[in-house]
Amino acid sequence: MEHGIGRQFMAQTRYRFLQPSDQNRGLPQPPLQQDYDRSRPLIDLPRPETVQVETVALRQAIEARRSVRRYSQTPLSLAELSFLLWCTQGVKEIASRAVTLRTVPSAGARHAFETYLLVNNVDGLVPGVYRFLALEHKLIEVDLSPGIADLVTEACWRQQFVKASAVTFIWVAVAYRMTWRYGERGYRYLHLDAGHVCQNLYLAAEAVHCGVCAIAAFNDEAMNELLELDGEEQFVIYLATLGKRDSS
């Protein structure tokens, strides 16, 4: 029986098939963060250590965790967004060996994700797409054009809660940041890391009375085109909607 591509991928990324990685070959590692247009203004976020949120016991957060697709019209505050970004990709330290230590685990501390946001209902932010600069803990505008929320929703196979969310997190994988160290096996780790990040969002959301729904069903080509990604070196790997819980 001919095996499908999924089985081939798992087989061909076993250690016995791997070639020496670029790290083993002595090539320089990629930057910790993708560059951005430094002539554009950055948007300050409240520092994570200053943000006050409700204390929620870990067991309580785990027991309450479920996917939520209906949200109230209550906006998310900028402080709450700052807290959630810190919980999912917050940089705690830049270590001497030129890696970031963050609030989520990552294979070899490679942290190969860039976080984009579709902002629909956040106090102080114009609706549109933004990028989170983890090293600076700031935002930068990407696309504030009218109708961008409709385009992202369409690319998520018209799942309307994308547009109804307060914010939709869009995680973009920068493949070489991982494969530089692990070669082709690094693609396995990208998907594992995406799970770590999204679970942190689910649990952190409980402290700000929000619900989350992870999304793996999206049109890869359409999402990558919207964010001007090449789909090979950088590509959308996972999304999650978030908003205040609807008590009705």
CATH of the domain at 77: 3.40.109.10
Is this model's pTM higher than 0.85 or not? yes
Q: Does any domain span residue 117?
A: yes
Q: Tens digits of per-residue pLDDT, 188-197?
A: 999 999 999 9
Domain assignment of residue 37, yes or no: no
Cβ partners under 8 Å of residue 9, min gap 6: 187
Q: Does 35 map to a domain?
A: no
Within-domain flag for 174: yes
Inside any domain, residue 13? no
Q: Is residue 130 part of a domain?
A: yes
* Residue 246 pLDDT level (bands cut at 50, 70, 90): confident
Mean pLDDT of 203-215: 98
CA 162/CA 239 separation, integer angstroms = 9
**pLDDT confidence band for 2 (50 / 70 / 90):** low
**Residue recorded with tokens 């940089």:** 91
For the chain, how many structural domains are there in total? Answer: 1
**Structural domain span for residue 57:** 42-244
- Residue 60 to residues 4, 64, 65, 198, Cα–Cα distance (Å): 41, 6, 9, 18
| pLDDT (tens digit per residue) in 89-142 | 999 999 988 899 999 999 999 999 999 999 999 999 999 999 999 999 999 999
Q: Is residue 138 part of a domain?
A: yes
* 114: in domain: yes
